[in-house]
Structure 1
Amino acid sequence: MPAPLARALSIFGHPMLVLPMAVLAIALARGDRRTAVWSALGFGAFAALVMGFSWWQVRRGRWGHVDASARHERSTLNRFLLAALTAGALLVAWRGTLPLLALGLALSAFMILGAMLMARWCKLSLHLAFVVFAALLLHRVGTLWMVVALVFAIAIAWSRLALERHTHRDLLAGALVGAVAGFAFWPIAARWGG
């Protein structure tokens, strides 16, 4: 039973699911349906872009699987994600209509950069980084939401260990990078008037 549960948790804790869900929860809690709709469309397009890139790498024989587990696969994916998230943040900021989304994308790029910079020492868990980031974003929706999300982060950490995808050091690095991004988000947003 632990392996199927760990796989299910790992899937539900994927960065392409947890961050969009947090953004949607925040937008809907603020009564901002427009942001919720545009964010959902944007995240859907981004997910399609990333999956298309991953599928293309497999199709060309450069990757063994779309999950990019091998070191060279992960390095390629992280470079792609850094460029895509940075471009997305700049595009959204340039349009000027969704400053909080631009900030979230920029901090997501920061987390990817953190993973790249730490690659020599650990395989930073982006699953855990994004779950912790999302949990801290949810503080504005309510403390209970944040606590539930942090408990979910603990479950994600367990799943990554159970699946032997990460070590304790990888998880600690991911949690720290996610916490830095999460604790930075609302103070920066307040300075921008978000």
Structure 2
Amino acid sequence: MSHTAWARALSIAGHPALLMPLAVAGGGSAAGGGPGARDTLAAGLGAAVFIALCVGAYTAWRVKAGRWAHVDASQPRERLELNLLLVALLFGMAALLAALGQPAVTSLGLALGGALVAAALALRRWGKVSLHVGFAVLAVALLWPQPLWALAAALLAAGVAWSRLELQRHTRAEVAAGLALGALAGACFVGMAGRLGA
């Protein structure tokens, strides 16, 4: 398989809409068999899948309507529209789950995902922050207490970073910015989740 084919495969495997539900499922299932872990898994996985389906349906609709060139949302206008939708979905779902009394760690993860996208939006004047890389690094934090899961996620994050450069979707600076923002969001998650007793 060529470098480009490998890069495309890694980019798809590390797409936030696919990676986040898997990270939530892996983290929740590995966290233990208690009722709290099951509640966290159910709430987090349900929210992640719902958001992924909403984003998938919206992007397909925009492409079919001729408003977007591709589901990648590569053009600045398309990317802005998609990221605004993501911020609304992530923060909205975090608030809804908190209001419904779901495990606080689930709302925390969603809110930090929203903050990651919001930071990318704030920095868009200076470049296209790689949210693929940012969410891949955040996935490591979601799986952090489990060494093998976290190692697999870290290797995938490295592969995703390489793929975004190989496919020329981002510059090195944009990949580095995604890595830094994802690491910051992940550190916040690990620190705050510990205080919440996750």
Q: TM-score range by the shorter chain?
A: over 0.9
Residue 47 of structure 2 is aligned to residue 47 of structure 1: no
What TM-score do you get using the length of structure 1 for normalisation? 0.93
Partner Cα distance (2:70, 2:15) in 1 = 16
> C-alpha deviations, 1:26-61, integer Å up to 9, x for none?
111122334334433332221111111112222332
Partner Cα distance (2:41, 2:142) in 1 = 15
**Which runs of no fewer than 5 residues in structure 1 stay unpaired?**
none
Residue 151 of structure 2 is aligned to residue 147 of structure 1: yes
Partner Cα distance (2:175, 2:24) in 1 = 23
Deviates most, 92-101 or 144-153: 144-153
> C-alpha deviations, 1:48-83, integer Å up to 9, x for none?
111111122223322111221111100010111111
- Cα root mean square deviation, aligned: 1.4
Give, as a single letter, the amino acid of the residue that structure 2 aligns with 1:192.
Answer: L
Map of 1:19 onto structure 2? 20
Residue 138 of structure 2 is aligned to residue 137 of structure 1: no
TM superposition shift of 1:157: 0.9
- Identity, % of aligned positions: 41
> C-alpha deviations, 1:127-156, integer Å up to 9, x for none?
1000111112221122x3323322221111
Give, as a single letter, the amino acid of the residue that structure 2 aligns with 1:168.
Answer: R
Partner Cα distance (1:71, 1:193) in 2 = 40
Counterpart contact for 1:25–1:141, Cα < 8 Å: no
SS in 2 for 1:48: helix
Q: Structure 2 residue aligned with 1:190, among 187, 194, 197?
A: 194
Q: Structure 2 residue aligned with 1:68, among 67, 73, 77?
A: 73
Counterpart contact for 2:14–2:160, Cα < 8 Å: yes
What TM-score do you get using the length of structure 2 for normalisation? 0.91
SS in 2 for 1:88: helix
Map of 2:106 onto structure 1? 101
**Which runs of no fewer than 5 residues in structure 2 stay unpaired?**
none
